[in-house]
Structure 1
Amino acid sequence: MSALSDQLVTFAILAYLVAMISHAVEYALGNARAVPATAAAPARALVGAGVGGAGGTVEVPAAPVETRAGRSAQRALVAGRIAGWVTALAAALHLGALVARGVAAERMPWGNMYEFVLTVTFIGTAAWLAVLWRRPALRRLGLFLTLVMVLLLAFAELKLYVQVTPLMPALQSYWFVIHVSTIVFASGIFLLGVVPAVAYLMRAGWEQGRRSFPYTLARRLPAAAGLERMTFALHAFAFPIFTFAVIAGAIWAEAAWGRAWGWDPKETWAFISWVVYAGYLHARATPSIKRNVATWIAVLGFLTMLMNLFGVNFFFTGLHSYAGVS
């Protein structure tokens, strides 16, 4: 089962890569310029009305000529639909890899950083598919989402991979499921939330007249207002779950180590992330603060989450050193 899990992760990465390429094709073809009206107008043919053309001619409209823009739009639509279905396939392979890993380890697959990244990225993809099902107009965001998935999963495979091992004694508690499941779920939603946040900052700059890179990439993205609302909705949904996860971790620490909070590096950065995300929601609810300023705070929050996931495990040592890569 462990070997099966490894193979499924590889296939999932390849599927995400195909989906990313399909999204890129949709992105490239989705803004094709229409040909001039004179060139696009259907031609008219003269047809003889008798033997050998005698008896005059009759003007008959020729078959309509499909415009270049129309053909590009159709191809973009097909590429986008392929991207959506391949992303769903990648998510199924991704889920299969997690299930096989859990069966091989005879526990929930969250015991080290490799498994944690696999689970967080799956939650992000599953949440994206739910959003895509409800809001198909946001499909072009899939280009950025699948790019993130390819990078994170490839990094997990190349740098974080460890063999299946039993759960450490310190983690053998029912709080393991309660605390880690909620922190994984919230992290996956935050991972998805940073995609429309960055897209909004790019699109808002484009709508304000900025034409330098990377704002030029945003001309094919949905309207900035919709992206900003999506960013807020995802963060407002994930924040209470993240808050519960931090509280559950403190309760577990009290039971396991005799103190609820000890400013361990993991605890410290979890608190920093909580403060930054709380600051984002407060800024978003304050009319005097511009939406782009608030969105930058959300992006900063995700950077602190990355620091908590990777930086703390690689550069610090503490009671939460369960990465399995040191």
Structure 2
Amino acid sequence: MAIDGGLASLSESLWTAATGTYMLAVVAYTGEYAFGKNGRIAKTSAAQASVRQPALVGGDEPGPASQAPEQPRFSAGSVESGNAAGRRWGRAAVWLTVLAALFHAGSVALRGIAVDRVPWGNMYEFTLVVGLMATVTWLATLVKMPQLRYLGLFAMMPVLLVMFLAGTLYTKATKLVPALQSVWLAIHVSVVAVAMGILLISAVITMLYLVRARIERHAAAGSAPTRFATLGSRLPVAASLDKAAYRTVAFAFPLYTAGVIFGAIWAEAAWGRYWGWDPKETWAFISWVVYATYLHARATAGWKGNRAAYINLLGFGTMVFNFFVVNIVISGLHSYAGLT
């Protein structure tokens, strides 16, 4: 079947529409982060209210606990208890995210239809799928925990960067090289893409944790936080972020493991061996070991906090290295970037 140039062009137009809509969503999330109940204005009002708080009965001054900065606390209730401006920004952000995800999914689907194959045969297409999976992960998180909506700025900014990255990796719609014409492409690469999209969100949560943990350490020591660390004052408590990052990795790790196993099965069918220490295979294994170490350390040694966070980020760093350096710079059996 010949390449359908019209559908391929429409796919690219939908990529443009998705990227523009993600930009608008980021702006809206920024508005909620600034003006919502956990934003800068809300925090300033809360701080002023605490200063005006009268002394306790009997003339006692408020203790250190009452003077501590308010922590963002979440309940299972609705997110719509903030001020009107925050609600409007937040609702607009979610609807824009959904619209962008629809454009995004349409771009991926039409690309596949245009070339009559699964739409992840090169780096451009794979990057689009990873970004889509990250967006779906974020929207699924909002269904479960809508009170975290104001953190959408930090979740969607990486997705927007991924969309711009896909543009730099753009490859014209083409048929697959013979080595990729296998049913295992649909199975192996799709599972890895889903896992990477979820792990991207975990990496973002981990970076937010490090910011929040720093400001909490300064508060505990009674010292003034650095200018950068003050950004963490509007984030959930560090322990909650740490737990969320751990649970996200725990969910994605079995998927990534399955993806590696499927890749080994495909290698045996294509090259007559399950494992040959090709650069792509080697770095996939390194990523697997790092994430396995992260989960094992938390489950057996009780590692939490910064040590676990750095391992998590190291794991995602190895995946990024595998994606860029191994695909583009290092030659191997998996050199299917599609770049010229």
Please tell me the TM-score bracket, short chain as reference.
0.7 to 0.9
Moved more, 87-96 or 171-180: 171-180
Partner of 1:23: 29
Partner of 2:172: 163
Partner of 2:242: 228
For the residues of structure 2 that align with 1:161 and 1:288, how far apart are their CA atoms?
Answer: 44
Deviations 1:19-76 (A, max 9, x none): 1111112222223122967xx9xxxxxxxxxxxxxxxxxxxxxxxxxxxxxxx93212
CA gap of 1:287–1:214, structure 2 versus 1, over 3 A, is farther
1:86 and 2:92 correspond: no
Contact 1:180 1:245 in 2 (8 A): yes
Match of 1:34 among 32, 45, 61: 45
CA gap of 1:288–1:236, structure 2 versus 1, over 3 A, is closer
Partner of 1:46: none
1:212 and 2:226 correspond: yes
For the residues of structure 2 that align with 1:90 and 1:163, how far apart are their CA atoms?
Answer: 22
Deviations 1:223-272 (A, max 9, x none): 22221121111110110111111111111111111121111111111011
Contact 1:9 1:93 in 2 (8 A): yes
Contact 1:137 1:222 in 2 (8 A): no
Contact 2:111 2:173 in 1 (8 A): yes
1:146 and 2:142 correspond: no
Work out which of the two has the higher radius of gyration on C-alpha atoms and give 1 or 2.
1
Extract unaligned runs of 5+ from structure 1. Answer: 41-71
Q: Which amino acid aligns with 1:113?
A: M
For the residues of structure 2 that align with 1:288 and 1:307, how far apart are their CA atoms?
Answer: 28
Q: Which amino acid aligns with 2:208?
A: A
Contact 1:175 1:248 in 2 (8 A): yes
Moved more, 281-290 or 173-182: 281-290
Contact 1:141 1:196 in 2 (8 A): no
Partner of 1:177: 186
Q: TM-score, normalised by structure 2?
A: 0.82
CA gap of 1:239–1:288, structure 2 versus 1, over 3 A, is closer
Deviations 1:180-222 (A, max 9, x none): 1111111111112111111111111112226224322111112
CA RMSD of aligned residues (A): 1.7
Extract unaligned runs of 5+ from structure 2. Answer: 1-6, 53-81, 220-224
Report the secondary structure of 2:100's partner residue.
helix
Partner of 2:56: none
For the residues of structure 1 that align with 2:151 and 2:127, how far apart are their CA atoms?
Answer: 21
For the residues of structure 2 that align with 1:141 and 1:305, how far apart are their CA atoms?
Answer: 24
After TM superposition, give the deviation of residue 121 of structure 1 in Å: 0.6
Contact 2:328 2:335 in 1 (8 A): no
For the residues of structure 2 that align with 1:288 and 1:167, how far apart are their CA atoms?
Answer: 46
For the residues of structure 2 that align with 1:116 and 1:176, how far apart are their CA atoms?
Answer: 11
1:111 and 2:125 correspond: no
Q: What fraction of aligned residue pairs are identical, expressed as a percent?
A: 50
For the residues of structure 2 that align with 1:187 and 1:34, how far apart are their CA atoms?
Answer: 40
Q: Which amino acid aligns with 1:110?
A: W
Contact 2:25 2:97 in 1 (8 A): yes
Deviations 1:93-114 (A, max 9, x none): 1001011111101111010000
After TM superposition, give the deviation of residue 290 of structure 1 in Å: 3.6
1:99 and 2:113 correspond: no
For the residues of structure 2 that align with 1:81 and 1:269, how far apart are their CA atoms?
Answer: 41
The 4+ residue runs of structure 1 with deviation greater than 3 A are none
For the residues of structure 2 that align with 1:20 and 1:305, how far apart are their CA atoms?
Answer: 25
For the residues of structure 2 that align with 1:163 and 1:198, how far apart are their CA atoms?
Answer: 35
For the residues of structure 1 that align with 2:323 and 2:265, how far apart are their CA atoms?
Answer: 21
Partner of 1:250: 264
Equivalent pairs, count: 292
Report the secondary structure of 2:300's partner residue.
coil
Match of 1:6 among 4, 12, 17: 12
Deviations 1:142-169 (A, max 9, x none): 1112111111111211x20011001111
Partner of 2:142: 132
Partner of 2:205: 196
After TM superposition, give the deviation of residue 7 of structure 1 in Å: 0.7
Q: TM-score, normalised by structure 1?
A: 0.86
Contact 1:141 1:195 in 2 (8 A): no
